[in-house]
Structure 1
Amino acid sequence: MLLTIILGFFGGLFGANGIPHYLTGVTGQEHPSPFGSSSVVNAIEGWAMFLLGGILWYFAWIQNYVLSAFISAALGMLVIALVHTQVWVKNPEFYKRMLPGRN
């Protein structure tokens, strides 16, 4: 069960982390990331996050501990959402660079 919780948590975390990178990448926008901020890099990074999240979810053996897997994945998604909100709050210059006209 512990392995299910750990893999579920990181599967949710990586899967949810792929959303902003993938969406900004496929819409041609820049988004800060460790590998660069171009739209191509972000589209690839988002795709890789989805893939990694799916692989972790596959190996989580969710059929044995369904509720634990879903709760841990939801917590992983919440954690990365809170991380992203803190990054955006503490770095308002991202708005100015990415969204011209937004104060």
Structure 2
Amino acid sequence: MWHVILLGFLGGLVGGNALPHFIRGITRQSYPNVLGSGPVTNLVGGWAALVVAALCLWWADLPSHPAAAFASVSVGVLLIGLFHAGPGAFGRATREPTSTRG
């Protein structure tokens, strides 16, 4: 069962990380990436990460322990989503919205 939890978590983490890169790549937008921030590098990096995530989830044999698999994949996706919504890999300067009320 530990291989299901570990590979499920890894598959969710890598797959959740792949989505913003792949989407930015196919919409031709820049996004920070280890290989560069251009659309092509994001597309290729996101695609490669989706392939790795699919392999992790396939090797995990998810049907053998469906509850543990669901939980571990969900936690992996949630954690990488919180990471992207928060500081991200390269940090980001946040701008507070200016209030128009007096």
Asked if Structure 1 and Structure 2 have the same fold, meaning a TM-score greater than 0.5 normalized by the shorter chain, the answer is yes
Unmatched 5+ residue regions in structure 2?
none
- Amino acid in the other structure paired with 1:91: R
Stretches of structure 1 that go unaligned for 5 or more consecutive residues are 96-102
Aligned residue for 2:86?
A: 86
Alignment size in residue pairs = 94
Find the counterpart in structure 2 of residue 57 from structure 1: 57
TM-score computed with the length of structure 1 as normaliser:
0.85
Letter in 1 for 2:87: V
Aligned sequence identity (%): 34
2:19 alignment partner in structure 1: 19
Q: Deviations over 1:7-49 (max 9, x none)?
A: 0001011111111000111111000011110100000011011
CA RMSD of aligned residues (A): 1.8
CA distance in 2, matches of 1:53, 1:87: 23
Give 4+ residue runs of structure 1 displaced > 6 Å after superposition.
none
Q: In proportion to residue count, which structure has more helix?
A: 1
